[in-house]
């Protein structure tokens, strides 16, 4: 069953617009760069990455979001723990953000 992985973050005020764009571009290309270790095929679908634009005024400082989809728990586990492309993305984000939240869910599980 599919798992959705949502990463919400707030960039530090000192991070330039160019660095924010570079970071989001890396996130957008994860779907092409994340290669499964056994099948040698891409295994993560990036549904989007960009600046938040909610009109609900409940962002609590969050400025950007990345949404990914995995087909199963094994793929998500590999992505989070071992995938070199994901590690590159984490390294591009970690020193540029002041806040990060991650939420995963499986549709239909309540």
Each domain of the chain, given as residue ranges in start order, spans 3-104
Choosing among 3.30.70.100, 3.30.70.260, 3.90.1150.10, 3.40.50.150, the CATH entry for 3-104 is: 3.30.70.100
Q: Is 66 helix (H, G, I), strand (E, B) or coil?
A: strand
Q: Tell me if 13 sits within 8 A of 70, measured CB to CB.
A: no
Predicted pLDDT at 85: 96
Q: Supply the pLDDT for residue 10.
A: 97
Handedness of CA 13, 14, 18, 24 (dihedral sign): negative
Q: CB-based contacts of 35: which residues, under 8 Å, 6+ apart?
A: 41, 42, 43, 85
74-100 pLDDT, tens per residue? 999 999 999 999 999 999 899 999 999
> Whole-model pTM?
0.92
Q: Say what the pLDDT of residue 2 is.
A: 97
């Amino acid at each position: 069953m599919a798992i959705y992985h949502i990463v919400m973050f707030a960039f530090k005020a000192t991070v330039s617009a160019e660095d924010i764009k570079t970071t989001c571009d890396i996130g957008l290309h994860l779907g092409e760069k994340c290669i499964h270790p056994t099948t040698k095929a891409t295994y993560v679908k990036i549904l989007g990455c960009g600046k938040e634009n909610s009109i609900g005024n409940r962002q609590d400082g969050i400025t950007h979001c990345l949404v990914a989809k995995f087909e199963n728990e094994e793929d998500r586990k590999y992505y989070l723990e071992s995938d070199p492309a994901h590690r590159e993305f984490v390294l591009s984000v970690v020193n540029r953000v002041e806040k990060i939240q991650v939420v995963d869910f499986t549709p239909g599980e309540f």
